[in-house]
Structure 1
Amino acid sequence: MARIAVIGAGMGAMAAAARLAVAGHRVVVYERTGTYGGALGRFERDGFSFDTGPGLLPLPAVWRDLFVKTGREPLESCVELVQVDPSARHVFADGTEVALPNASRAGVVEALDAALGQPAGRRWSDFLVRAREAWDRTRRPLLEEPLWPNWEVLAERDPYPSVPHKRLLRTRRAGTLAEVGAWELRDARLSALLGCHALAYGLDPRTAPANTAVLPYMEYAFGMWYVRGGLRELARAVYERCLARRVEFRFDAEVTGIVEKDGRVAGVELAEGGLVQAELVVAGVAPDVLGRLCGGVPVRGAGDVAPQRGGTSRLTVHLALRGRRAEGAAHRTVVHAPDAEAELDALFGPEPFMPGRPTVTVLRPDDPALVPDADHEAVTLTSVVPARATPDAEEAAGRLVDAAERAMPGLRDRLLWREVRTPADVAAATGVADGAIPAPALAAAGGRLLHAANSTRTEGLFTVGGWSHPGGGLPHAGMSGALVAGLVVEGPEFRGSQ
């Protein structure tokens, strides 16, 4: 039995802690803030309750697996999972609308044909077939196995089977997600539908590789889910599972250093003073924080995948509304930017700034636990903004509300109050200095979208969470916990779940 110090109580770190405790190790989690969950926070006021992080859950099987492997109580005994339907309603720039059924390929095809005209549904269906092939090729190496030592293999060739396209007397294949949309979907609205899945993870579809297609595939193949009471309830359930497995938590306990002796970790230093001895350390922190904790000593080699830094963040506006939720309202509505190219230029240009008219996601959960009574509604608006962005909060919130009114006419007239959360709030919750949110790992693109391995050059030091393999997103956080536990328990020969 080893003494293991886990730095941070984010979802990936708690997933690793629970699995390691079940394996017989003594696990202590040190969290610099006063609570658990990392990005899965909660804001409450006047009887209203809001998720401050993700509002929907893709691939719940990852968390079901955690609960199966760490105890007899399944996930559904600890939280109530609801498959949202429709999966999303989309309001396109030209005013066209479509509501897409959840995890029903035939239903999506029918809805697209009805809203956009034939052959929109067939083209999207054919695209999903190709996206599934990319998923099948990358699922194990990018999600279920530790990062390969010869990771360059993943970086070289795009696994998406692009359709040959004749252009200027040449036959070409799509190399980016935007080219997939333009050449294979051939409808501006379908291209917007495709691109919004990349943008939601802070990726520019014009430079994201074609195999970014796996992101919409995950949603349309496995569905989108909501947790009653908000996704903070998932964090609570994982925390309580850790406690049941005798994981110890120490909140308001900031780790200021990772102690190394003779090339391997020996423990951690705390801000309150003193050294805590540990044979193993699992760090659920951003790369810059890890570098500081290690005193600037490199834990990655020249031939390793370099840790990602920077990227995009989120602007979030929580709205407390008078009046009950409209009957049949979609849980999620994506209001597309009137000028997608201008939005991408603003977000990903040489000097990024918040777009004047952004794409906005509107979340309207049908959940009595989030409101003081049935005559009120809790709505959350989110938009992608550059990391380190410091917009005027009220002006920026106004832009999101203006966009949301395209989906919810009369929204302003119902407003009681609003709470705005900027990248600075993301930074405070996650410890990432610029408030950046990591994207999932993707193949090709020269490896720039891969994340650093969970193991390091320092013996006994492992990394977990969105800034290490397999990257950002709730499913990926759970997978990183499983990978770290496997590497600790089985050693370097661990090759992932079978």
Structure 2
Amino acid sequence: MIGAGMGAMAAAARLAVAGQRVVVYERAETYGGAVRRFERDGFGFDTGPGLLTLPAVWRDLFIKTGREPLEECVELVQVDPSSRHVFADGTEVALPNASRAGVVAALDEALGAGAGGRWGDFLVRAREAWDRTRRPLLEEPLWPNWPVLAAREPYPAVPHKRLLRTRRATTLAEVGAWELRDSRLAALLESYALAYGLDPRVTPASAAVLPYMEHAFGTWYVRGGIRELARAVYERCLARKVEFVFGAEVTGVLEKDGRAAGVELSGGTVAEADAVVGTGPWRLGGLMPGRKLYGAQDVEPGAEGLHPGRVVVCLGLRGAREPDAVHRTVVHSPDAAEELSLFGPGTMPERPTVRIDRPDDPALRPTEEHEAVVLTATVPSGTVYDWTAPGAADTFADRMVAAAERAIPELRERTMWREVRTPVHTERETGAEGGAVPPPSLASPSGTLHPSNSTAIPGLFTAGGWSHPGGGLPHAGMSGALVAGLIVEGPEFRGSQ
């Protein structure tokens, strides 16, 4: 197995339980892929995902791989409110966790009568899109007849009369403009796309499933940080006798009699295997130059580096966290159109949308008189923007801090020090081209699908965010389940039950 990311470890644990001997070769010195932690002076910071949705995916992994359920290995805490939003006009709203009635009431109070109802009606339509796509998109392998996922838009858009024509929204931006009819509700909707590096102007309306997942299944925090989930999965792998070799870079995939037969490591060492599980299809192709990994009917891998990445600013603050502080706050850009310049060729927004994580977790701060805060913004990857240029990282971090001060007054005065992490760090830690972050797969005529977990080469498979069903912690766990099923049961595997 190539790489010790979350999807790969999920596959490894399941394969080991099925009686397979599994060896994981990881080029870095630790596990978890993008699920990392930065530590300094007694502070701890999640530098990847800060919250968890759809914890059932990881509960299923722990149930299927041992007697100890997930909750005995980590402490899951439901975050309430799920998020606070500060909009461009200064309006603020805190959204209750997993409560449609509570969200409707909060939006009506903050944005005016009718706003909550429009959002609530949108969530009902989003549920229909979820019900239509959940199993074929997330729980089953991407079969050769995958075009059925692109046959029609699964989101049941409301007819919209414009001039003499009646149209239905096909993009997330059109859903916001035509169905939500409030710039703040539109910003709320589009922030879910931006968090995954998706341009709402071209992202299909089926991306409505992203806010629906948070609404329906809640938002969760892992005590000690999301890195604790990676630790628990790693320890579950060890308990099932999965072997890990860190600092081992795979330089090639061996082929024998037309099928994958092992890997070659830097230095020339060869490790034979009956099956090989790789990471991103884009990188996997580089390990087998001249070989076509996918057939004519499959989704071809796109260039990883053309997707956006993230800048993460870790702030060590003096002063105690306010008792009523919210775990996650989203400060929306005052110029939504200008912010979308990040999807252009090498341009950078002056006033980005910034996500602020302020976990109430003593494990992440040296004393009660300190606070650990993480700021995150979506940015162009290192492929299209030079993050190594002098001052590039700090200049953008200054913009993020300025935005965050709209939610946390005196943030700069409280800052003892900061650590700025750009797509350069992501590329170094995960190997992703340009430090890009994979988006989730979406079903629609204009949707984003990732290549299948199986390839045209027998015995060669892929797991993780750059293959089916795409990026995000829930999706990574699903990819591991799909790969394990394909290896153990073969082509007749029809998905998790």
Task: Give the TM-score taking structure 2 as reference length.
Answer: 0.97
Partner residue in 1 for 2:352: 358
Partner residue in 2 for 1:399: 399
Partner residue in 2 for 1:34: 29
What pairs with 1:76-475 in structure 2 (closer than 5 Å)?
Answer: 76-284=71-279, 286-309=280-303, 310-344=306-340, 346-349=341-344, 351-388=345-382, 389-391=385-387, 392-447=392-447, 449-475=448-474
Can you give the 5+ residue segments of structure 2 that lack an aligned partner in the other structure?
A: none
Q: 1:262: Cα distance to partner?
A: 1.5
Partner residue in 2 for 1:492: 491
**Structural RMSD (CA):** 0.9
Q: 1:148: Cα distance to partner?
A: 2.2
Contact 1:300 1:456 in 2 (8 A): yes
1:257-291 Cα shifts (integer Å, max 9, x gaps): 1001121011110113221110100112x233211
Contact 1:253 1:272 in 2 (8 A): no
Q: 1:55 and 2:54 equivalent?
A: no
Contact 1:451 1:467 in 2 (8 A): yes
Q: 1:328: Cα distance to partner?
A: 1.0
Contact 2:173 2:190 in 1 (8 A): yes
Q: 1:298: Cα distance to partner?
A: 1.3
Provide the rounded CA distance (Å) in 1 between the counterparts of 2:101 and 2:236: 38
SS in 1 for 2:59: helix
Can you give the 5+ residue segments of structure 1 that lack an aligned partner in the other structure?
A: 1-5
Provide the rounded CA distance (Å) in 1 between the counterparts of 2:380 and 2:232: 32
Provide the rounded CA distance (Å) in 2 between the counterparts of 1:441 and 1:359: 23
Q: 1:387: Cα distance to partner?
A: 1.0
Contact 1:315 1:423 in 2 (8 A): yes
Q: 1:433: Cα distance to partner?
A: 2.3
SS in 1 for 2:492: coil
Partner residue in 2 for 1:3: none
Counterpart amino acid of residue 61 in structure 2: L
SS in 2 for 1:276: strand
Provide the rounded CA distance (Å) in 2 between the counterparts of 1:328 and 1:405: 17
Partner residue in 2 for 1:21: 16
Counterpart amino acid of residue 37 in structure 2: R
Contact 2:339 2:351 in 1 (8 A): yes
Contact 1:308 1:467 in 2 (8 A): no
Provide the rounded CA distance (Å) in 1 between the counterparts of 2:291 and 2:102: 54
Provide the rounded CA distance (Å) in 1 between the counterparts of 2:5 and 2:346: 28
Counterpart amino acid of residue 54 in structure 1: P
Provide the rounded CA distance (Å) in 1 between the counterparts of 2:471 and 2:211: 15
Provide the rounded CA distance (Å) in 2 between the counterparts of 1:387 and 1:445: 26
* Shift >3 Å, 4+ stretches: none
Provide the rounded CA distance (Å) in 2 between the counterparts of 1:39 and 1:323: 30
1:324-366 Cα shifts (integer Å, max 9, x gaps): 001110000000000001111x1122x1322010000000000
Provide the rounded CA distance (Å) in 1 between the counterparts of 2:89 and 2:245: 52
SS in 1 for 2:433: coil
Provide the rounded CA distance (Å) in 2 between the counterparts of 1:438 and 1:187: 29
Contact 1:141 1:148 in 2 (8 A): no
1:225-259 Cα shifts (integer Å, max 9, x gaps): 10011011000000000000000001111111100
Aligned length: 489
Provide the rounded CA distance (Å) in 1 between the counterparts of 2:406 and 2:294: 48
